[in-house]
Chain A
Amino acid sequence: MKDNNKTINSRRDFIKKMTAASIAASATTIPVASFLSSCSPEVKKMAASADSVILLWMAGGMAHTETFDPKKYAPFEKGLETNSVLSTFPKHPTAVDGLEFSEGLQSIGGVMDKGAIIRSYKAADLGFILHTRHQFHWHTCYEPPQSVQAPHIGAWIAKELGPANPVIPPFIAIGQRFTMGEAEELKAFHSAGFLGSEYGPFLIPDPSEGLDSVRPPEGMSLKRFEARYKLYKELSNKSEVMAQASDYQRESLMRSMEQSYRLLNSPEAKVFDLSQEPKEKYDTYNTGRFGLGCLLAKRLAQSGGRFISVSTEYEPFLGWDTHANGHTRVKQMKALIDKPVAQLIKDLDESGHLDRTLVILASEFSRDAIMEGRPGEEVRDQARRQPDKIEHIRHYGMHRHFTDGGSILMWGGGIKKGLVYGKTADERPCVSIEKPVVIDQVHQSVYHALGIDSQTHYNVESRPFYTTPDGKGKPILDLFGKEMKSTKNNNA
């Protein structure tokens, strides 16, 4: 168990490593934009149970009945009624008695005694379902559009807590490219919004190339890199304009260049280098880009990453976005996530970092074979030619967007071990029927774990903007605490 002062210690290190000029800058946390007033004085620091967060993002809508909340298995046969299909995989036991996962997730099942599962997530009702709108909502806690730019949860955390290691950017997003459909909509929430780009995501689309983003440009030796920086400093010191610039302008320029120089020149850059891992370990993780993303997240969390997201990547109709061939695709997706996620938990646990690292696995909403939307609020069907009777394997699966149930997994950072929270119905519609959880609670639970007060806000254009809408999000305190005593029977 690490002490609660870790944050403070590393902050102190952070300051120690910086120049006198930058101390002033970081101490006053200069508001980034002119319209931003300083944080409200009421905000108090609370005791934290976590220092870092890893978000494992199941992009595209992961069906809970096919993964972490399996229902009655309906094996494939021609002529099967679509309506009779709740799960297309058999169930398997997990490390927690009475808790069962869908086939293909046995490794993750094996580490559930180290974490908790929320089985009663309810996504917001945003009408016509657009993945990126729900993802925006999930990541910012605000429904788009907003009249000011809402920050990503990672940006809030970066802003409030700063880097845990001075040379590792506090918000790192791994795995998402921004080149296919809805790229602009994805960019809209991969943003620090009004907090200012200082707190925005450091993007690493391909984890195997992560090192490239933190080392001197290709073809530049370290010696040359250092000489170049020295030349810049020498010329800048001679400059008259520098004398003219306001102190805060000068500081922000000098500080940013120095930080960047230090990061690129630091031994910590090795953290981004996956080839440092033993081959065996690398191979365990290497189920694809997502798996390697987990490996990179592990390395970052162990070296002072603050908020790290690893996405299976959202591309319309790919990944978890199964509009057809659901069964086949979900099988692939499980193979992609099962081993690396479980290994990540094990490795963090072994190195002692899991205690202070909150790992979350979540998706923007769930899926169903029949229902688009939620009971009573059904919306336009977006499945591809889904007949009432299944005649072909491609019709077998969860092809419709379902928002009224869903699973979230959490490990570490003060989360109870072996906890099963909430429940969905066993028959269609498989909606959350016990202790429903909405996104505001999820966010506030994360902030709670990190010791960020629920009333944290900034005044933007004269209006307070809170971490959760109107500062009303409440943490789910039941998630936190010591080991579950009643692990054995809690899901009977």
Chain B
Amino acid sequence: MESTNWILQLLGRLHPLLVHFPVGLLVVAFFLELLTLKGKKTGLREGITWMIYIGAISAALSALFGWFLKTQEAYTGDLVDNHQYTGIATAVLAIITALMLKSSLKKETLNLKLYRFTLTLTVVLLSIAGHLGANLTHGEDYLTAVLPGNKVEYNDEESGALLTELNGAAELTELQQDKLSLKVRGLFAHKCYQCHSDNKQKGGLVLEHKEGVFKGGETGPAVVAGKPEESEIYKRIVLPANDKKVMPTKGKLLTAQEIALVKLWIKEGAHWSDQAVKVFPEAALALTKPELPKVPKETHPLDKLVDTYFRAKAITWETPVNDRVFIKRAYMDIVGLLPSPEVIDAFLEDTNTEKRSLLIDNLLNDKEGYTQHWLSFWNDLLRNDYSGTGFITRGRFQITGWLYNALKSNKSYDQMVSQLMNPDKASEGFIKGIKWRGVVNSSQRTEMQAAQNIGQSLMGVNVKCASCHNSFVSNLTLDQAYGFASIFAKEPLELNRCDKPIGKIAKVNFLYPELGSVEGETLKERLLKLSEVMTNKANGRLYRTIANRIWERLIGRGIIEPVDEMDNTPWNADVLDWLAADFIDSGTDLKHLIKRIMTSKAYQLPTVNYKTEDALKKDYVFKGPVLRRLSAEQFSDAISQVIAPVYVAVAYNPNEEKMPAKRIWHHQKDLTNTVLPLPGKRYFRKTFQLKKDAIKDASVLISVDDSYKLYINEMPVGEGHNWTEVGKYDVTQLLTKGNNTIAVEGTNEGKIGNPASILFAMRIQHKDGQIENLYSDETWKSTAHTPKGNWMRFNYDTKRWKKVKNYGNRNWAKLLDFTFKSHEKTFARASLVKQHAFLKALGRPNREIVVSKREEQATLLQALELTNGAFFNGILKQGAEQWLHTYGHDTEVLVDTLYQKLLGRHPSSDEQKILIGALGREPSTAQVQDVFWSLLISPEFQFIN
């Protein structure tokens, strides 16, 4: 602190008194000056002159004394600075004004105009300086606080209620002591942390933790237990607002009730609760099933609750959607596919009153369909993908197999969570995170990723902030985040604040310690405990979070939003709690949860147009579901169903027939390095011997990127131009006992190097039942030079040919059709496909981090992909050819069938007319393709109504 001088200090304290002189004198002088305008009331001149002189001198003195006050008594802050600058400027201007006046009096009105101008300026500045000074003394909101609408935000009702409760008690119970302690610490957080926290220790005082509070600051102990009057904190908060020692110096003072609470707390011994202080609103952890209101006209429990909500909001029930809309919703929401026209017609004709519920059951029983649709939701949520960062350095593991089976067998949610928390090899990918080589920011170590992801995905709480420093947006602390992350570490982690170690070792802990201990000697032990703690039924948060997520999926808007922030207020707590409690009662059966929502009238209401984003996000009132855009997977699968297969190869194949065939090509080198194959023709050979000639059956599978001509023993077998179409050939007649030769002329298309490969498999069944297999692998040979002579001959000289290169399967997925089994050719569900440009453009995220909500906005890049993307247009073309082949003879049937298949309805006569006009009587492939496009891009198809 600066040294203080009592004289200066005294003068400084005279500043607030002195400032009234210039304020009064100069302002009055200004008004009198106005009266003298246009040469009137000239008699005022002398008085004005003296006012200006005295005003200017007192302004200068005020500024000087103000400066004393500031330096002697350690005022700081923007407000003080601004007051100082404007004050000094006022003083200077006042003196200039006075000087001008003096000179204008001598030279007679010459400088009068200039003087009047500076006087005006002085008064304006004076008002500003005066206002800032008043703000300093009385608080910045002194004036504005009394304006209507600017009432104190902080909820004082709560303080009042607590005070009443505690004052009424003869002796405080432990629970009441805790409550009081937390309340007071909450006050500290809101009112004092800004200057008295670990981050900023004004006066050496830290109020963030017990040690700091009881240690006190430079002026002595802040709290003397039992003696409020001796406690510095209490002494300072009760000071009058204009006392310069009053606390807090920034923001509003404490209310009388708040002061009373602090006093009571100190008087009662300043008990310090071990619980973490809850500064931010936090949802209760526990879950109790709300009593259902008596609403006889509604049978569904959710509808009883919604009905009560509707009545309170004066909303009337709309008529539920018709069967056509319902069946599309149900299909899209459970299996992610379009219902076929036959299914729709049958459903419409069905007179069973329970048919909607039955349909939901049937769809939920379609295990593969359900799994392959909901897989995408879980992949997003659990950050699981088939390709992406980390895999290349084995720093990341898939959980696809485990997840697929969990959904298919409808594992309970409890079981899923347990197996994710305490995993075996199949499910460990989730908590293992993504490990990058090299040094990683400590808030991104894999253990912390586990804490963050569990927090976000399963518990709806943001651990990301707290993994770097105490959170500014929730109650989580750095200690808690590291305690949580330490569960997954070999040994407890050292805390890092903003990536700097702070020399403190974390205490293993769960975010909500009241659920139980997660401490244990070994990692396994801790994970086991975590799995138990997480699925402890007292952890209502786990169940509310998933119930809210599923509701959001089906309705388009969560009961709480954003769905990752479960401390936010729900639009109706009873709906959420009942749904979560009912989910627990069902044995945490996810299908039950889905069915519960879908059978409600609330789900079956027509979609509501919320007009603006705010109406949907901030000021939301539930009136019914929201229109949802098809996901990338739903869009792609629908096209596969109706137009032509979008994907025929998968990254994860649940029915895999494992064959060791490799994707090979001519080894392209640049100096010593392998590079992408250059465009052009390459020649491949494989020779082999057959010991027997009694061949019963021999067949070949081949897929080549980009095209091939296949020969066996110099005989042409077949050719192909699309790697996704598997060539299947019977070659029984072509093989002979002894020497055999496979020859492939392959072509890589394009202008620059790009992936190319041959995938080949041959199965030979001998009459004696023995089976021989032959696959593409590194024993094949290739050349880039056009061979001379008959290169397909067995004995052809291949001395200068090279060993082929296995190019791996990074650029190709597993072909569904690459199998010797008779196989009904179908399409691959987009959820099983490796991330692909088309899906990405449509909004499938890269799953490097948890994605709980996809982008809903249409984007230019997406529109470009749909408008001129070669991939999409290729599929449309293929589909158009197929459709023409089937319906080409009858445009009307074509249009009607297309509408039924894509939109689940017949076209209106208008639409029929437009489309027949576009197609003509004898449509071309191009015309059909363009009609497909127009319908697929149309909002009716792109949105789930």
Contacts and interface: CB of A to CB of B under 8 A. Distances in A.
B612 A184 contact: no
Interface string B901-940: 0000000101100110010000000100011011101111
Contacts of B616: 246
Interface string A221-258: 00010011001101110111111111111101101110
A196 B864 contact: no
B273 to A, nearest CB: 26
B452 interface: yes
Contacts of A31: 613
B943 A241 contact: yes
A403 to B, nearest CB: 11
B672 A242 contact: no
B343 interface: no
Contacts of B846: 149, 187-188, 191
B342 interface: no
A107 to B, nearest CB: 24
Contact of A185 (B392, B474, B565, B810): B392
Interface stretch (A82-90, A121-129, A441-449): A121-129
B696 to A, nearest CB: 41
B482 to A, nearest CB: 15
A324 interface: yes
Contact of B754 (A179, A208, A239, A249): A179
Contact of A252 (B390, B857, B867, B937): B857
B617 to A, nearest CB: 7
A160 interface: no
B938 A129 contact: no
Contacts of B436: 130, 133, 144-145
A45 interface: no
B73 interface: no
A198 interface: yes
Given A147-B443, A227-B930, A315 B675 contact: yes
B930 A231 contact: yes
A249 B858 CA distance: 8
A452 to B, nearest CB: 21
Interface in B823-864: 840-841, 843, 846, 848-849, 853, 855-864
Nearest to B628: A249
A241 B861 CA distance: 23
B585 interface: no
Contact of A143 (B391, B441, B452, B866): B441
A462 B472 CA distance: 9
Contact of B857 (A32, A200, A328, A463): A32
Q: Which of B840, B859, B910, B935 has most A Cβ within 10 Å?
A: B859
A264 B858 contact: no
Interface residues of B, number: 93
B253 to A, nearest CB: 28
A164 B441 CA distance: 37
Nearest to A147: B464
B388 A209 contact: no
Contacts of A1: none
Nearest to A240: B940
A436 interface: no
B673 A235 contact: no
B942 interface: yes
B1 interface: no
Nearest to B561: A34
B626 interface: yes
B899 to A, nearest CB: 11
B17 interface: no
A218 interface: yes
A235 B911 contact: yes
Contacts of B326: none
Interface string B361-393: 000000000000000000000000001111111
A277 interface: no
A318 B462 contact: no
Interface in B155-192: none
A220 B873 CA distance: 10
Interface stretch (B283-291, B603-611, B682-690, B782-790): B603-611
A184 B391 contact: yes
B434 interface: yes
Interface string B610-629: 11110011000000001101
A462 B438 contact: no
Contact of B841 (A197, A218, A235): A197
B931 A463 contact: no
B937 A232 contact: yes
Contact of B609 (A143, A149, A245): A245
Interface in A188-220: 188, 191, 196-198, 200, 202, 205-206, 208-209, 212-218, 220
Given A244-B945, A256-B860, 6 more contacts: A33-B857, A35-B562, A133-B436, A259-B863, A379-B438, A463-B464
Interface of B: 387-393, 434, 436-441, 443-444, 449, 452, 462, 464-465, 467, 473-474, 561-562, 564-565, 607, 609-613, 616-617, 626-627, 629, 670-673, 675-676, 751-752, 754-755, 810-811, 840-841, 843, 846, 848-849, 853, 855-864, 866-870, 873, 908, 910-911, 914-915, 918, 926, 930-931, 933-935, 937-940, 942-943, 945
14 contacts: A127-B440, A184-B391, A197-B840, A198-B860, A198-B861, A232-B933, A244-B609, A245-B939, A248-B857, A256-B859, A256-B863, A257-B858, A318-B675, A461-B464
